[in-house]
């Protein structure tokens, strides 16, 4: 459907704003380099205020960068106004025309482009089928549910056949259940339309479910770019590990290292880890995901159980390893020994299933 999938490149992009309180200039986005593959689904993820919307608005042309250059395909687009760019944006607020029906909302952009009537009808019909609103052309938009309004907003952007589709937290106004089903829908529609998508969210599970690649932002800076698995299993910092999923951090020191096999000392215990690039003598942090460990008689680290709670699919433990609280989700506990509060035991994990910072 889209004429051509386009990649996006940001080269040394910065945006400076003035803080309204302090009147000081600050970087909302600082020296950002990104390369987004044609046809891929990429998510900008990070806490509120980290610069996601600003980055997206610069791609769309609603803001202009103070430094750097943005490319759409091979074309430098800094000087182009939004309507001259091959992008379309889907907003959180939908921004539908309230006194128009679905057909006219979706047809609006095509009428501005002065397409003939038959072609408009054909394109709108095709798109409404794609987003699952077939046969609802005459319904007024103020009579629609939140999910339906979001589909109209999506159809209105897609009908213009942009090279790139931009989303700014499009599901924030929907209830939790609908958010989950709509994100699957958005992914399906993006794949069927074969379009490049850049999606902004602060919801890490949404980002993981929907993305080919995730860009983690922290205070205007790109903290990490990778597939959901790369980011989850190999976070580059405690910030990233903590933002994506849950993580325990155990501080220690590298005792020895040889051929990607290291021995780490944590709380007086020697622990094996498999990871390249560690240096003997360096301080380090072991990132242990709650589901990567179990509690048993054997294991690398001694612990004391401070909370033990049956959750059905898993036993939820909080244990102390020295002074550090470690959370463990022990899945399928049905036929396992259950430890209670006050018990002494050990934390066991596979050296392949931890990450060292
Ligand atoms: P996010 O979308 O990640 O929540 P934004 O990109 O909206 O973050 O904002 C990044 C930072 O820039 C925030 O500190 C925000 O307050 C500030 N900001 C955004 N827009 C403006 C503006 N027009 N003028 C001044 N500061 C702004
Ligand atoms: Mg935002």
Encode pLDDT of 232-259 as tens digits.
999 999 999 999 989 999 999 999 988 8
Please tell me the distance between residue 255's alpha carbon and the centre of ligand 1 in angstroms. 44
Q: Mean pLDDT, to the nearest integer, of 214-228?
A: 97
Tell me whether residue 89 is in a domain: yes
The C-alpha atoms of residue 84 and residue 71 are separated, in whole angstroms, by 13
What is the chain's mean pLDDT, rounded? Answer: 92
What is the Cα 231 distance to its own chain's centre? 10
End position of a domain, from candidates 184, 214, 242 = 242
Note whether 207 and 323 are same-domain residues: no
Is residue 209 domain-shared with residue 285, that is, in the same domain? Answer: no
Asked if the structure places residue 2 within a domain, the reply is no
- Under the banding of pLDDT at 50, 70 and 90, the label for residue 128 is very high
Ligand 1 within 6 A of CB of 53 = yes
Please answer whether residues 153 and 96 qualify as being in contact, where contact means their C-beta atoms are separated by less than 8 angstroms.
yes
pLDDT tens by residue, 62-113: 999 999 999 999 999 999 999 889 899 998 777 888 889 999 999 998 998 8
Cβ of 54 less than 6 Å from ligand 1: yes
- C-alpha 227 – ligand 1 centre gap (Å): 26
User: 22 CB less than 6 Å from ligand 1?
Assistant: no
DSSP annotation of 337: P
> For 4-17, what is the mean pLDDT?
93
In the chain, the number of structural domains is 2
Q: Which two tokens stand for residue 272?
A: 């094996």
pLDDT at 335 over 80: yes
Please state which of the ranges 2-6, 289-293, 317-321 shows the lowest mean pLDDT. 2-6
**For 149-193, how does the pLDDT look when each residue is reduced to its tens digit (9 = 90+)?**
988 998 998 898 898 999 999 888 888 888 898 899 889 889 988
The answer, yes or no, to whether any atom of ligand 1 lies below 6 A from the CB of 17, is yes
Instruction: Report the C-alpha gap between 107 and 124 in whole angstroms.
Output: 6
| Residues 131 and 172 grouped into a single domain | yes
Cβ–Cβ < 8 Å for 182, 174: yes
**β-bridge pairing 293-296 and 344-349:** antiparallel
The CATH number given to whatever domain includes residue 160 is 3.40.50.300
Same domain, 134 and 155: yes
- Please choose, from the candidates 72, 6, 65, the residue with its C-alpha nearest in 3D space to the C-alpha of residue 39: 6
Same domain for 231 and 262?
no
Share of the chain above pLDDT 70, in %: 99
- What is the residue with the minimal CA distance to atom 2 of ligand 1? 53
Q: Is residue 142 part of a domain?
A: yes
CA–CA separation, 344 vs 250, rounded Å? 18
Point out which residues pair with 258 in neighbouring strands: 261
Residue nearest to atom 23 of ligand 1 (CA): 17
Task: Supply the pLDDT for residue 1.
Answer: 47
| Statement to judge: residues 218 and 282 lie in one domain | no
In a domain, 270, yes or no: yes
Residue 81, token pair as written in the block = 């106004």
Mean pLDDT value across residues 42-63: 96
Least confident segment among 12-26, 172-186, 196-210, 279-293:
172-186
Q: How far is the CA of 104 from the centre of ligand 2 (A)?
A: 29
What pLDDT was estimated at residue 147? Answer: 86
Q: Whose CA is nearest to atom 25 of ligand 1?
A: 17
Residue 48's Cα: distance from chain center in Å? 13
Q: How far is the CA of 171 from the centre of ligand 1 (A)?
A: 20
What pLDDT shows up at residue 3? Answer: 64
Mutate to test the pocket of ligand 1, among 20, 43, 54, 216 (most ligand atoms within 8 A of CB): 54
Looking at 212, 242, 272, which one is the last position of a domain? 242
Average pLDDT value for residue range 26-50: 96
- Number of residues that make up the chain: 357
Same domain for 257 and 214, yes or no, is no
Domain of residue 270: give its range: 246-356
- Which of residues 242, 271, 306 is at a domain's end? 242
- Cβ distance 58 to 17 under 8 Å? no
Q: Are residues 60 and 186 in the same domain?
A: yes
Residues 224 and 232: beta-carbon distance below 8 Å: no
Q: Determine the 3-state secondary structure of 237 from DSSP.
A: coil
Among candidate residues 337, 331, 303, the one with its CA nearest the CA of residue 319: 303
The pick from 28, 45, 168 for probing ligand 1's pocket by mutation, whose C-beta has the most ligand atoms within 8 angstroms, reads 28
For the sheet containing 269-274, what is the strand order? 269-274, 261-266, 248-258, 283-288, 355-356
- Please state, in angstroms and as integers, the Cα–Cα distance from residue 223 to each residue in 2, 32, 45, 215, 275, following that order: 32, 10, 10, 8, 21
Give, for ligand 1, the residue of 49, 57, 168, 216 to mutate: max count of ligand atoms closer than 8 Å to Cβ.
49
Same structural domain for residues 321 and 250? yes
Residues near 92 by Cβ (< 8 Å), separated by ≥ 6?
Answer: 168, 169, 170, 172, 173
Ligand 1 neighbourhood includes 32 CB (under 6 angstroms): no
Q: What are phi and psi of 315, to 5 degrees?
A: -100, 125
pLDDT given at position 189: 86
Question: How many whole angstroms from 84 Cα to the centroid of ligand 2?
Answer: 23
Whether residues 66 and 24 fall in one domain = yes
Are 238 and 303 found together in one domain?
A: no
CB 202 within 8 A of CB 175: no
CATH of the domain at 328: 2.40.50.140
Residue 80 neighbours by CB distance under 10 Å: 15
Query: In this model, does residue 229 exceed pLDDT 50?
Result: yes
Q: Are residues 144 and 264 in the same domain?
A: no
Q: What's the average model confidence in pLDDT over 287-310?
A: 95
Cα-based angle 234, 237, 242 (whole degrees, multiple of 5)? 85
Rounded to two decimals, what is the model's pTM? Answer: 0.88
Task: Take atom 1 of ligand 1 and give the residue whose Cα is closest.
Answer: 49
pLDDT for position 179? 87
E strand spans, the chain? 8-18, 25-36, 41-45, 67-72, 75-76, 87-90, 164-168, 196-201, 213-218, 221-226, 248-258, 261-266, 269-274, 283-288, 293-296, 301-310, 314-321, 324-331, 344-349, 355-356
CB atoms within 10 A of CB 350: 10
Does 50 sit in the ligand 1 pocket, CB within 6 Å?
yes
As given in the structure block, the two tokens for residue 2 are: 């889209």
> Is residue 2 predicted with pLDDT exceeding 70?
no
């Amino acid at each position: 459907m889209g004429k051509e999938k386009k990649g996006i490149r940001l080269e040394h992009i910065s945006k400076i704003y003035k803080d309204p309180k302090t009147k000081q200039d600050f970087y909302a986005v600082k020296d950002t380099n990104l390369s987004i593959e044609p046809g891929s689904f990429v998510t900008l993820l990070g806490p509120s205020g980290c610069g996601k919307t600003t980055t997206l608005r610069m791609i769309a042309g609603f803001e202009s960068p103070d430094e750097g250059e943005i490319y759409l395909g091979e074309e430098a687009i800094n000087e182009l106004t939004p309507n001259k760019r091959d992008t379309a944006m889907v907003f959180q607020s939908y921004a539908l025309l309230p006194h128009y029906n679905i057909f006219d909302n979706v047809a609006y952009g095509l009428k501005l482009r002065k397409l003939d009537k038959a072609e408009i009808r054909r394109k709108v019909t095709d798109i409404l089928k794609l987003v699952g609103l077939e046969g609802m052309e005459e319904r007024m938009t103020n009579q629609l549910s939140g999910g339906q309004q979001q589909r109209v907003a999506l159809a209105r952007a897609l009908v213009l056949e942009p090279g790139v589709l931009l989303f700014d937290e499009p599901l924030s106004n929907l209830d939790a259940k609908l958010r989950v089903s709509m994100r699957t829908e958005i992914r399906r529609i993006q794949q069927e339309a074969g379009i490049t998508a850049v999606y902004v969210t602060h919801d890490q599970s949404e980002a993981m479910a929907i993305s080919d690649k995730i860009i983690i932002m922290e205070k205007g800076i790109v903290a990490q770019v990778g597939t959901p698995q790369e980011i989850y299993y190999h976070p580059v910092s405690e910030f990233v590990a903590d933002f994506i999923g849950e993580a325990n951090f155990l501080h220690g020191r590298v005792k020895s290292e040889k051929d990607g096999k290291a021995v780490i000392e944590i709380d007086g215990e020697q622990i094996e880890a498999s990871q390249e690039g560690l240096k003997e003598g360096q301080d380090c942090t072991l990132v242990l995901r709650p589901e990567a460990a179990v509690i048993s008689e054997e294991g690398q680290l001694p612990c004391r159980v401070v909370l033990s709670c049956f959750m059905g699919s898993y036993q939820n433990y909080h244990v102390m390893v020295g002074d550090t609280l470690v959370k463990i989700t022990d899945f399928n506990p049905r036929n396992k020994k259950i430890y209670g509060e006050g018990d002494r035991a050990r934390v066991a994990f596979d050296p392949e299933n931890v990450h060292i910072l």
